[in-house]
Amino acid sequence: MAKLTFNIPDSEVNRLMDAWSEHYQTEVLDQDGSMIPNPQTKQQYARQQMRQMLSDRVRHYEAQTASGLDITDG
């Protein structure tokens, strides 16, 4: 499996994490409707957001470049 790696200066890591975890919540709703501590860390959430953005970009690109299917009456 290919791996995509970025080198981020240590002094910039917090900025990156803050930007990608903008909507992170320290507490989330449990199935019974009560608030519980978020089982996902801020860093895990940021990584998930980055992966999702990359995946969404590929889907968008493929939707824009996909060729249609010509169907005509016979």
Averaged pLDDT for residues 34-53: 96
Model confidence, pTM: 0.77
Residue 18 counted as domain residue: no
User: Chain-wide mean pLDDT for the chain?
Assistant: 92
Residue 49 counted as domain residue: yes
Residue 73 counted as domain residue: no
Please name the residues in contact with 20: beta carbons below 8 A apart, sequence gap of 6 or more. Answer: 45, 46, 47, 49, 50
> What digits encode the pLDDT tens for the residues 49-67?
999 999 999 999 988 887 7
Are the CB atoms for 30 and 36 separated by under 8 Å? yes
How does residue 71 score in pLDDT terms, banded at 50, 70 and 90?
confident
Residue 67 counted as domain residue: no
The confidence score (pLDDT) of residue 9 equals 97
